[in-house]
Amino acid sequence: MQPSKNLRHKVAPIVASLSVLALVGCGGDSPLPQLTAAIPATFSGDCATLATSISGLKGTVITGASTVAAGLLSNISTPEHCLVTGKMNERVSTVDGATYYIGFQVRLPKAWNGRFYYQANGGTDGAISTAAGALGGGPITSALAKGFAVLSSDAGHQSQTTPFFGIDPQARIDYGYNAVAQLTPMAKDLIKSVYGKAPDRSYLGGCSNGGRHALVAASRYGDQYDGILGGAPGYNLPKAAVAQLWGVQQYASVATATKATDTTASGTVVTLPTPLPDVSTAFTAAERSMIGSKIVSKCDALDGVVDNWVGDVAACQKVFSVASDIPTCTAGRDGSCLTADQKTVLTKVHDGAKNSSGAALYNSFPYDAGISSSGWASWKFSNSTGVGRDPGAMAFIFMTPPQTDTVNFLGLPFAMKFNFDTDAPKIFATSGVYTESAMSFMTPQSPANLSKLRERGAKMIVYHGTSDPVFSFNDTLSWLDSVKAIFGSNTDSFVKLYPVPAMSHCSGGPAADQFDLIDPLVNWVEKGIAPGSVVAKARGTGTSTIAALINAEVPASWAPDRTRPLCPYPTVATYNGTGDVNSASSFSCK
């Protein structure tokens, strides 16, 4: 029976794609619907009364309502609004005995712009992040500041630091896609009960796992949203976790120190039976800085000017060589070179995870200057060995059946013994009460099939740092190529991708990572104005009095507030030949 089941899994997406191809071929060139602009409204009542006045929301309990005065929220100036909290679908699991529900908060501006913004959160969810709707590395604005009603949720479980909710099959599905399905109509009804009308326009946005939520929503719920904003969209998240564990085993081969202890989810430090490699010593900060500098040296001028920045990342992949552009150590490791074994590991990690037969398990990663960033090291070395991230997520959420020992589980030993031939396929498996595999509940139903979104007249913007160490920018390019394979030249009429050179995972790195893509999305959806270049700003020392908004990795040779145009792929920010190299106005998208 198993071969026929696998065949069905392979045939279904093909049939879906052929159906969309037929649709595009018959009517894909017809004009898309033009959605009208949202109409503002106000709420002049008492926020405190909302807890008792909101009724009829299916499966929902409102747990609180209060007024929040105008002021800073998540470091952004925000207007007076009502904060409503609640939970949906509370239940006791018959599998692990834990209590689960979908927790949420909705922030409702007194002066509302008529729009709803679903804030999709990152990591493994499990906590209700402040519903501000802020995006970009160092947010300069937010959806709430612009007057949106904003919702944030925990995606159906209440454990942000541990992945053990994956033992419950419904919690898995809620995390993957069902929380969005449940919350979307509830939030629209709640908004209608407060303002007297439902939102005219609905948007959804997030980065990392939030970007995954965005692509899942575009596929599953494209008829319910008018605009989707996806950052670093880890739509193949289980595969990316496999790649992280692949990296651990590669780094271990060149690590220079060992770890004798590890930490459980409860924070207990335990002694390992056998010391394991300390993968953080595989590439020192000095070595990664050297690698980044060699990439810049080789590729800096490709965008028309030498300015300590690689604007044309795609062209860089064609000319940069680990073998010839990085010095090989002839003596010890001193930060100025890499050993032959380190070069092999660097190449293997960038080529992507593979099983013993050489079959690719995840996409490759581009060589990019942001390898020098602290974020790159954190994701590659720390998050890939900790209980709360990739090892734990793989063991308890993505593998079927999941592991069940929540007391003794350790991240590093699990990562070191993960088998890419026998364990990696478990992200596609089902078993008993686990009727959906991780690659079913975590990923879009058909990532390239955006026909619902397109036919609605909705639009989608995706952005991704080219130095993202956990979700490969190349994987996002592969997704875009698959969309283009169906919609061809029509793709650009409703989907745009903005690479962010040298940006790490959602923010940081030697990059201009502060930008606003909400306004361009709204203008595209509601006015039909397709976005072009978008100005991004660096956040160097002195650009803010708020420490959290400063990016210490902005190169000293840059103006602290250097700007660059973010260009819709495949165009590249190219120097005009004259002008200040620190100003976006000196560059054009070509």
Q: Which residues pair with 252 in a beta bridge?
A: none
Q: How many CB atoms lie within 10 A of CB 474?
A: 19
The C-alpha atoms of residue 271 and residue 259 are separated, in whole angstroms, by: 9
Neighbour-count burial of 253, counting CB atoms closer than 10 A to its CB (0-12 exposed, 13-18 middle, 19+ buried)? middle
C-alpha closest to that of 393 among 62, 111, 161: 161
d(CA 407, CA 265): 7
Strand pairing category for 149-153 and 115-119: parallel
- The single residue of 226, 451, 505, 586 carrying the catalytic annotation is 505
- Residue spans of alpha helices (H) in 329-433: 340-351, 374-377, 390-393, 411-417
Mark whether 350 is an active-site residue. Answer: no
Assign 393 to helix, strand or coil. Answer: helix
* Residue 208 a catalytic site member: yes
Q: Provide the pairing of β-strand 111-112 with 115-119.
A: unpaired
The crossing angle, in degrees rounded to 10, of helices 237-252 and 340-351 is: 170
* Helix, strand, coil distribution of the chain in percent, nearest 5: 35, 20, 45
Name the H helices within 505-571: 518-527
Give the DSSP letter of residue 189.
Answer: H
| Residues across the chain | 590
CA torsion sign for 223, 224, 225, 231 is negative
Contact (CB, 8 A) for 507 and 135 = no
**157 included as an active-site residue:** no
Q: Which of 228, 180, 223 is nearest to 204 (CA)?
A: 228
Residue 423 to residue 322: CA distance in whole angstroms: 30
Are 328 and 339 a contacting pair, CB within 8 Å? yes
Point out the catalytic residue in the list 278, 468, 475, 516. Answer: 468
CA distance 154 to 124: 9
- Rounded to 10°, the helix 179-195/209-220 angle is 80
Residue pair 300/368 in contact by the 8 Å Cβ criterion:
no
Both tokens of 360, joined, read: 């690719």
Give me the catalytic one of 153, 208, 451, 504. 208
Cα angle 432-433-439, degrees, rounded to a multiple of 5:
90
Give me the half-sphere count of Cα atoms (radius 13 Å) on the Cβ side of residue 370. Answer: 33
Catalytic residues: 208, 468, 505
